[in-house]
Chains A and B, each alone.
Chain A
């Protein structure tokens, strides 16, 4: 096993920036806006030539600002974002980027805990800030987490059943065809984890100002933004690996991987701009109704193929 996977976090961050640009751009175009401009006309090139790296500039701006820490906040307020970032970095080791990852026999299980840990860290940090909006956002986030984890785990375990392994590298393949139910379930779970539109209930700006991150500012918010960018890549890459991967090597592997990632993020952007926001009770009820049933179906489907047929 090579140590090549150590560059995974770097790739995750760089591609994550591009993915968040893509989300913003597609969202803007569906809204008939321009969005971040790809090519700036010569007359207005006073700072830079393109806005593709606009998410990066936003993060850099946050790191150049002062951080305000609320009086009531406990030390967890500072520790939690760093922990979240650490979780995201560790998670990126386990997600194969064109086949390169920390290939561990129980990689999938560890990844579950890291993904959950990231969300929990943000919740803990938000709630310790003492802001009411953060508390309401935290409660909503926990409700979403509880209802979302079961379909996510069942959906991925359906693949584990089919391939008889818990290592992510071994269950990669074009499973979209072999188990479409699992693909739908995992895609929906990714939407919830990334706070894409029908499920951005925990940071609903019109209800609770910005939810868990209301009190965060400056460098701490910058860390959270970096975490968010990395999580976009980690989850999108996970979906591309599990369901849109065609076994190949060399340059071809990178091509397959990035086309999978691009396709997934376009889908996510479409969902993001074509839907409104659920209310929390509607969202939990919907998550229990649709993805949970589908995930059970996916497990049954997978075990049927494996053991019966």
Chain B
């Protein structure tokens, strides 16, 4: 049976040593996954820097932990050392009120750009009763480094056909060449992390599923794995294989739609329609297993909730057989189209250095030839026991990323078939119940279709978690996307966005709302 994922290795350091420690770790070949702050009460605001070592298999997870004063939460920025911390630190600034010194770009990312005008500066200090958002138009336009340049600015969004979800991509354009680009998130705020702290662990599962419609199995699986690590229980074999099967089905459905959307973004709508047609078989088999098409609600702490019977497996196997025929045919149709492939070749070239600098994960990194796959790096579910391999392409352009997705779909089909065989003969035990949850911290990583997802859950012995921190794969990948868009042509921008396949609902999950009063500074909760 597969081993459990490596637990968190915590190293406590002083606040002023962060820079040196981080650069020391980075020189050892670590990748900074995330940084987040938690208001820990008396000890101060706790700031965690999450690292992993991709070269080591199974890879080691490391956390640098430091505390800063709650009254004066000041910490030195590590963004000048590594750009991987950029958005994480901006998130800290906005949602926890930590003052990050020497951050190169401390503008708002999730809150409105003119947030100070709208909210804090219009009211006298200490006047907490009248704290309301000022809805009247502001005196001066929001500070924005894009609009100050003397080039024509093309706005993509907040609602734009190229972006399925709402966000705001601004590009300053000269002729057809994009000189500069900037992204504004925050149109899909749902304050999921905060809500999780107020609900019990079982409700959190359903909430975690609803962070993203595409990777909902991965979200609930990662959360469940983190809780299982705290409770120190072993999941039954059948549950593990069912989770693998669900995860791979989800990967197929996401990748096929991503490839179809790629067709749509290059004007090849026929391919999108056929992608949806092929995907329907996967959705059907997911529905047979769980009873739901999109948010399955099948994974729970300690196992799975619904039994997958041999009858189900028969149906799923027949669907997989159909897919084995229709999917390669579909890919051939795409690859035969020179107009389609001509759009992808040599566009959005992501060199290995840039990918490592921004900490790219998932198909984006693998399209540049980096072997990063959490399924291999720190195996979970049943990935150690099934036969599969990491897929990489060395062309580094959009076409390589699409090809990685295509080959991963075929690999997923292979994994699914193996899982089906095992589930049919596995013992019928579905769940190891979680009876009591001790105090502790759980840390789990999985590989959703888009890259690396990590959950950090802390239990305080009650029925609600102390805190939940999560980082979604879109987080580092969108940074890469903005870098790729700079210098490309307008015609290439949708292709690049499609090849990165961002999920902004995932990236936009956090805000801190406290009964209508919004925490701005001082780390109040």
The answer to whether A205 and B161 have CB atoms under 8 Å apart is yes
**Quick one: which of A135, A207, A278, A281 contacts B162, CB cutoff 8 A?**
A207
The answer to whether A136 and B263 have CB atoms under 8 Å apart is no
| CA gap between A281 and B493 in the complex, in Å | 14
Stretch at the interface among B100-108, B338-346, B513-521: B338-346
- For A30, the closest partner residue in chain B by CB is B270
Q: Is A142 engaged at the interface, CB distance under 8 Å to the other chain? A: no
| CA gap between A139 and B491 in the complex, in Å | 13
**Quick one: which of B161, B263, B491 contacts A280, CB cutoff 8 A?**
B491
Chain B CB within 10 Å — which of A33, A206, A209 has the most? A206
CB distance from A84 to the nearest CB of B (A): 24
Chain A CB within 10 Å — which of B264, B270, B343 has the most? B270
Chain B residues, CB < 8 A from A205 = 161
Contact status of A280 and B265, CB under 8 A, knowing A132-B154, A207-B162: no
Stretch at the interface among A116-124, A175-183, A269-277: A269-277
Q: Is B152 engaged at the interface, CB distance under 8 Å to the other chain? A: yes
**Quick one: which of B268, B274, B494 contacts A275, CB cutoff 8 A?**
B268
Q: Is A24 engaged at the interface, CB distance under 8 Å to the other chain? A: no
CB distance from A141 to the nearest CB of B (A): 13
Chain B CB within 10 Å — which of A136, A207, A276, A278 has the most? A276
Chain B residues, CB < 8 A from A139 = 176
Q: Is B477 engaged at the interface, CB distance under 8 Å to the other chain? A: no
Chain B residues, CB < 8 A from A276 = 263, 266-268, 271, 337, 339-340, 343
Q: Is B169 engaged at the interface, CB distance under 8 Å to the other chain? A: no
Report A206-233 CB contacts with B as 1/0, cut-off 8 Å. Answer: 1111000000000000000000000000
Q: Is B354 engaged at the interface, CB distance under 8 Å to the other chain? A: no
The answer to whether A279 and B267 have CB atoms under 8 Å apart is no
Chain B residues, CB < 8 A from A279 = 342-343, 489, 491-492
Q: Is A198 engaged at the interface, CB distance under 8 Å to the other chain? A: yes
**Quick one: which of A27, A33, A208, A277 contacts B268, CB cutoff 8 A?**
A277
- For B265, the closest partner residue in chain A by CB is A206
| CA gap between A201 and B493 in the complex, in Å | 14
| CA gap between A136 and B268 in the complex, in Å | 21
The answer to whether A208 and B267 have CB atoms under 8 Å apart is no
Chain A residues, CB < 8 A from B489 = 279, 281
The answer to whether B268 and A31 have CB atoms under 8 Å apart is no
The answer to whether A136 and B490 have CB atoms under 8 Å apart is yes
Contact status of A132 and B153, CB under 8 A, knowing A206-B162, A275-B337: yes
| CA gap between A22 and B277 in the complex, in Å | 23
Chain B residues, CB < 8 A from A135 = 152
- For A280, the closest partner residue in chain B by CB is B491
CB distance from A308 to the nearest CB of B (A): 36
- Interface residues in A109-144 (C-beta closer than 8 Å to B): 132-133, 135-136, 139
- For A135, the closest partner residue in chain B by CB is B152
| CA gap between A277 and B162 in the complex, in Å | 14
Chain A residues, CB < 8 A from B154 = 132-133, 136, 208
CB distance from A210 to the nearest CB of B (A): 9
Report B154-179 CB contacts with A as 1/0, cut-off 8 Å. Answer: 11000011100000000001001000
- For A136, the closest partner residue in chain B by CB is B490
Q: Is A18 engaged at the interface, CB distance under 8 Å to the other chain? A: no
CB distance from A203 to the nearest CB of B (A): 10
Contact status of A206 and B267, CB under 8 A, knowing A33-B273, A275-B337, A276-B343: yes
Contact status of A31 and B267, CB under 8 A, knowing A276-B339, A280-B176: no
The answer to whether B340 and A32 have CB atoms under 8 Å apart is no
Chain B residues, CB < 8 A from A209 = 160-161
| CA gap between A190 and B492 in the complex, in Å | 26
The answer to whether A282 and B490 have CB atoms under 8 Å apart is no
Q: Is B269 engaged at the interface, CB distance under 8 Å to the other chain? A: yes
Report A277-309 CB contacts with B as 1/0, cut-off 8 Å. Answer: 111111000000000000000000000000000
The answer to whether B267 and A204 have CB atoms under 8 Å apart is yes
Chain B residues, CB < 8 A from A280 = 176, 491
Chain A residues, CB < 8 A from B491 = 201, 204, 207, 279-281
Report A6-48 CB contacts with B as 1/0, cut-off 8 Å. Answer: 0000000000000000000001001111000000000000000
CB distance from A140 to the nearest CB of B (A): 8
**Quick one: which of A132, A274, A278 contacts B152, CB cutoff 8 A?**
A132
| CA gap between A279 and B153 in the complex, in Å | 20
The answer to whether A32 and B339 have CB atoms under 8 Å apart is no
| CA gap between A29 and B465 in the complex, in Å | 52
The answer to whether B162 and A198 have CB atoms under 8 Å apart is no
Known contacts A31-B270, A32-B273, then 18 further A-B pairs from the complex at CB < 8 Å, ordered by chain A residue: A30-B270, A135-B152, A197-B267, A204-B267, A204-B491, A205-B161, A206-B162, A207-B491, A207-B493, A274-B270, A275-B268, A276-B271, A277-B268, A277-B339, A278-B339, A279-B342, A280-B491, A281-B491
28 contacts between A and B (CB under 8 A): A27-B270, A30-B270, A31-B273, A32-B277, A132-B152, A135-B152, A136-B154, A197-B268, A200-B267, A204-B491, A206-B265, A207-B162, A207-B491, A273-B270, A274-B337, A275-B268, A275-B337, A275-B339, A276-B263, A276-B268, A276-B339, A277-B266, A277-B339, A277-B343, A278-B343, A279-B343, A279-B491, A280-B176
